[in-house]
Amino acid sequence: MRRTLLALPLALLPLALAQASSHEHDHDHAHETHGSLGKHEHGVASLNVALDGQTLEIQLESPAMNLVGFEHAANSDADKAKVTAARKQLEQPQALFALPAEAKCSLKETELQSPLFADAKHAEHEHEHEHEHEHDDHGHEDEAAHSDIEASYHFTCAHAEALKTLELGSFFSTFPDTEKLEVQLIGPSGQQGAELTPNHSRLSF
């Protein structure tokens, strides 16, 4: 995924959000030491959005727990089915992120990354070598602990001036274990941070 719009500008976002996050981390440092690390917090995901001209980029980073209900390697058929279902849903961003129809945004590129996707593929194609790769499977399971799922989308919007809002209600209903999205937005009005929840699911540019 090309990250030309998001990589540098998001690093230069106003310090207020970062300072608030740092302050919270100071208080929660002990909990993080024994639980999740850094930004990895169950129920919380991050969403980066950048609009530049007719180009819209959206990047989602979420603990796998929020999207599939677990973070261990997908070894069982039930787990693999959950991973496959989540991946198919993430491959349809128009159903997750409601963009104004009048903006005429078309999806140009999608990239999904997660150790769980690799695990599921590994399990499907290497099942006949299950015993031979037993140690590899354990390695995958260790790597998948506290794993994230990342999704990146690149849209071109013919009428970007009509892109005033981004509605995330469908995302929250599709992945109900996600309780909060921490958003960083770069748009015509500059840079801003926001928090979206199922009861407050609309982002304004």
Maximal C-alpha separation, the chain: 57
pLDDT in tens, 3-46: 545 554 444 444 334 433 443 444 343 333 333 334 568 899 99
Nearest residue to 76 (alpha-carbon basis) of 113, 32, 16, 130? 130
Cβ count near 200 (within 10 Å): 14
pLDDT in tens, 95-104: 999 999 999 9
Handedness of CA 157, 162, 165, 169 (dihedral sign): negative
Q: Is 133 a residue whose pLDDT tops 50?
A: no
Asked if 167 and 205 count as a contact pair (C-beta separation under 8 A), the reply is no
- Give the E-state strand segments of the chain in sequence order: 44-52, 55-63, 105-113, 148-157, 165-167, 180-187, 190-196, 202-204
pLDDT band at 120 (very low <50, low <70, confident <90, very high): low
Asked if 123 and 16 count as a contact pair (C-beta separation under 8 A), the reply is no
Asked if 70 and 82 count as a contact pair (C-beta separation under 8 A), the reply is yes
* Rounded Cα distance, 62 and 58, in Å: 13
Mean pLDDT, residues 106-133: 69
Q: Is 158 a residue whose pLDDT tops 80?
A: yes
Q: Is 90 a residue whose pLDDT tops 80?
A: yes
